[in-house]
Structure formats: structure tokens, C-alpha cells
Amino acid sequence: MIKLIVGNKGTGKTKILIDMINHSLQTTSGNVICIEKGAKLTYDVDHSVRLIDAEHYNVEGYDVFFGFIAGLLAGNYDITEIYVDSILKIGGRDYDKLGELFEKVNAIAEQSKATIVFTVSADESELPESVKKFAK
């Protein structure tokens, strides 16, 4: 299953994400992953979270990002939650491709029984239905 935290820049999405990450450590028996572009959350999330800088692995674009997520889930069956900060910085502002990504990621998340949470820096009214349906 995937979930979205949607809002314009400066509306507190990353703070909500950090709270969700740290709370999930108390409720999960699996591994928690956080993917971001840049290393800005290093001191905000608990040290037991696997923090991944997408830039370090040259993850750019939605197709590459999907392969990266699929590889993570294929390589570690113990992943229960993946949190992604600023997906638009990783993939770009093509909202139709973002919707396609969410469809594909949702399918593999359901197979692996993982929850994947994304922050999307955009006004919800700008997003197509293919993206909005995951924000509900």
C-alpha cells in the first residue's frame, strides 16, 4: 500500500514524515527505510532507520526510482515501511508519470506487504486523478 503526504512547499510535510518514521519504529517488527535526495534528515530520524540518499546511488527519474524500490524489496523481505521525502525532486514534475509510478509501486508494495509513504510538494488541486487516488 502507498500513502501520500501532499501539500505546497513549507506546509510541514517533512515534519509529518519524520514523526511517522520515528513512530513506526515503535510499531513494526521489520526494517524501516527512508529515501531522500540529499542528506538532510540524518539528525532527524532514529539511527536504526536505513537512511538512503538517492543522489549517492544516482537515482534520478521515475523508471530508475521504481527499479531502486523493487531492488530494495526483492533484496530484503523484512522491509515493512519505506518513506520517500520529496519524490518530485527525484523524478520530476511530470504528474502523469508520477501516477504511473504510484501504480507500479503500489503493486509491488502489496505483494511484499510493505507500506510506502511519499511526500509530494504540490497543491492537491494540480494533481491528476491517477495521483490523487493515493492521497485518500
pTM: 0.94
Residue ranges of domains in the chain, CATH in brackets: 2-132 (3.40.50.300)
Residues 6+ apart with CB under 8 A from 132: 124
Work out the percent of the chain whose per-residue pLDDT is above 70.
99
Q: Which three cell numbers stand for residue 51?
A: 537512511
pLDDT of residue 40: 86
Q: pLDDT tens track of the chain, all 136 residues? A: 999 999 999 899 999 999 999 999 999 999 999 999 988 888 889 889 999 999 999 999 999 999 999 999 999 999 999 999 999 999 999 999 999 999 999 999 999 999 999 999 999 999 999 999 998 6
DSSP secondary structure code for residue 61 in this structure: S
Residues 33-61: pLDDT tens digits?
999 998 888 888 988 999 999 999 999 99
What is the rounded CA–CA span in Å between residue 86 and residue 95?
13
Look at the chain and count its residues: 136
Q: Which three cell numbers stand for residue 40?
A: 538532510
What is the rounded CA–CA span in Å between residue 45 and residue 92?
25
Number of other residues whose CB lies within 10 A of the CB of residue 47: 7
User: Using an 8 Å Cβ cutoff, are 115 and 28 in contact?
Assistant: no
User: What type of residue sits at position 55?
Assistant: E
